[in-house]
């Protein structure tokens, strides 16, 4: 019994949860979630590929840029890249395409005449509205067989899963890079031994 921590799975040691009463413990349900998540990722990649092949929509990466500038107001490309946690050169290419399509415009920075700010144009705001309406219609169709309570429960669980995924992934990446864990609530299994 003194060695019960060693018998826990890494996920159990990581979360501090006790093993489930069934013989497989957490292994089977965790594997099921991991498989479902992988299938979701594959489905999303296929969907993105179909959208790109159709070339009739602003893709999700540039939609994110539009939404960020709309939400945060005019901003420099470097601030936009930091906000969306993307490489500046990648964001610069995407911004150039958005400016070329008339969705973003460059404005003089009143505080620094050498710099420019990115702002959403009227055409960009219309594209955002159209995207949001399309997204709402799409997910309404996806969730057509779900009742209101099921959708609310799923949204809560998905939000919880996403937060945990981000927290644990960040901790693992920090450990791989040799940086101390930036999330003190997350304890790696080896640290509990």
Residues 64-108 have pLDDT tens digits of 999 999 999 899 999 999 999 899 999 999 999 999 999 999 998
Higher pLDDT, 56 or 133: 133
Angle at CA of residue 89, ends 83 and 92, nearest 5°? 70
What value, to the nearest 5°, has the Cα angle with vertex 33 and ends 32 and 34?
90
Residue 143 has pLDDT above 70, yes or no: yes
Return the beta strands (E) in the chain as ranges.
Answer: 104-108, 116-120
Q: Are strands 104-108 and 116-120 parallel, antiparallel or unpaired?
A: antiparallel
**Which pLDDT band, with edges at 50, 70 and 90, does 181 fall under?**
low
Q: Which 3-state string (H, E, C) describes 93-149?
A: HHHHHHHHCCCEEEEECCCCCCCEEEEECHHHHHHHHHHHHHHHHHHHHHCCCCCHH
Lowest mean per-residue pLDDT among 51-60, 75-84, 182-191: 182-191
């Amino acid at each position: 019994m003194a060695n019960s921590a060693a018998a826990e799975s890494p996920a159990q040691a990581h979360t501090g949860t006790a093993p489930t009463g069934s013989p497989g413990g957490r292994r089977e349900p965790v594997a099921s979630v991991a498989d479902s998540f992988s299938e979701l990722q594959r489905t999303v990649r296929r969907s993105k590929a179909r959208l790109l092949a159709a070339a009739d929509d602003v893709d999700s990466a540039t939609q994110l840029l539009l939404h960020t500038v709309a939400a945060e107001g005019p901003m420099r490309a470097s601030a936009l890249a930091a906000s969306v946690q993307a490489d500046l050169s990648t964001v610069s290419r995407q911004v150039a395409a958005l400016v070329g399509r008339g969705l973003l415009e460059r404005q003089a920075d009143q505080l620094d005449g050498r710099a420019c700010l990115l702002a959403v144009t009227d055409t960009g705001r219309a594209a955002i509205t159209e995207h949001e309406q399309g997204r709402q219609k799409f997910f309404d169709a996806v969730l057509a067989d779900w009742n209101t309570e099921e959708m609310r429960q799923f949204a809560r669980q998905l939000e919880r899963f996403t937060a945990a995924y981000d927290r644990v992934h960040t901790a693992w990446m920090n450990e791989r890079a040799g940086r101390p864990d930036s999330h003190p609530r997350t304890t790696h299994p080896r640290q509990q031994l």
